[in-house]
Amino acid sequence: MKTFNVYQFNADPRLPTPLRQTLLETFEVCNEVLASFYVEVSNEVLAFARSRGLKNIVELGAGHAPLTRLLVDNPESHGLNFVICDLIPAVEQYQELELKYPGRVTALTESVDFSTTRAWPPSTLLVLCAAIHHVPTQKRPALVHALSLSADSVMVFAPVRKTWLSVLLAMAIIFPAIALPILLWKKPGRLRRVLWCWLVPVIPLIALWDGFGGSLRQWNEREWREVLAREAGEQREPFLKHWGNRQLVAW
Ligand SMILES: C[S@@+](CC[C@H](N)C(=O)[O-])C[C@H]1O[C@@H](n2cnc3c(N)ncnc32)[C@H](O)[C@@H]1O
């Protein structure tokens, strides 16, 4: 029997689709409307890809793909190709992007598990955004190993860090989760949001739990460096940076 990973709500196929959609929308509102996290991430990705002369950007665990949407929209990304995938792919959104940018965006509509090794083409940058905390700590070194074997370069972004300030700020996600139906009032899905954020307020509670656990489950710089030294291979040069509560690890 498959056990329930309490930090993996939005990648558990047993979570009903309307709940998953609403949960992802909550994160998107926080990272795109209330803060500029996705814009900051997209700038980092483009600068890194350019500096290393990489041609392909694969977004793993892409959710509804807000990041790839920003990347491909950016004139600076001209000449780069994008792939979007997830354990539970948002097929409609991915295909819509593929149609809008023919030849530049490839939508993988099958399930892609980023914890298993996969031979991506040469000159590929793998990007994980706000997703690594879903993998239990003890399984993460194997994930780092698998990612290192899978492509030339990897970037992992998190909108939170393992500090008490970040835990507190991340738990404030309960407010946008409660306000979600208002914040997205004009977008399709109004009744769904009213149901799951107000009438049966499961989303604010899951978001609160994810904010709390998502911060505590991050690695600090020392933990990252130790794991990268063991799992990423000697020829990789790790790059770590944090700004505010955000963090970036690349190798
Ligand atoms: C918090 S969402 C972030 C989505 C998107 N990256 C963003 O920033 O909006 C985490 C995503 O990681 C995906 N995910 C979790 N574990 C995964 C795995 N092992 N393989 C692929 N995707 C996974 C989930 O399905 C979910 O879409």
Q: Confidence class of residue 141 from pLDDT cuts 50, 70 and 90?
A: very high
Whether 63 is in a domain gets the answer yes
Confidence of residue 1 (pLDDT cuts 50, 70, 90): very low
Can you give the pLDDT at residue 235?
87
125 with 203, same domain? no
157 and 48 fall within a common domain: yes
Q: For residue 111, tell me if it sits in a domain.
A: yes
Q: How far is the CA of 6 from the centre of ligand 1 (A)?
A: 14
Residue 23 maps to a domain: no
Its domain, for residue 32, covers: 28-162+221-250
pLDDT at 59 > cutoff 90: yes
Least confident of 1-5, 49-53, 67-71, 221-225: 1-5
Asked if residue 107 and residue 124 are part of one domain, the reply reads: yes
Based on the fold, state whether residues 212 and 228 are members of the same structural domain.
no
What would the mean pLDDT of 222-235 be, rounded to a whole number? 94
In a domain, 39, yes or no: yes
Residue 45 lies in a domain: yes
Paired sense of beta strands 56-60 and 124-129, if any = parallel
The pLDDT value recorded for residue 147 is 98
pTM for this entry: 0.94
Question: 140 with 231, same domain?
Answer: yes
Measured in angstroms, how far is the CA atom of residue 28 from the centroid of ligand 1? 12
Is residue 92 one of the residues assigned to a domain?
A: yes
Is the distance from CB of 206 to CB of 9 less than 8 angstroms? yes
Ligand 1 pocket test, candidate residues 114, 133, 154, 206, most atoms within 8 A of CB: 114
Please choose, from the candidates 129, 120, 121, 171, the residue with its C-alpha nearest in 3D space to the C-alpha of residue 44: 129
CATH classification at residue 84: 3.40.50.150
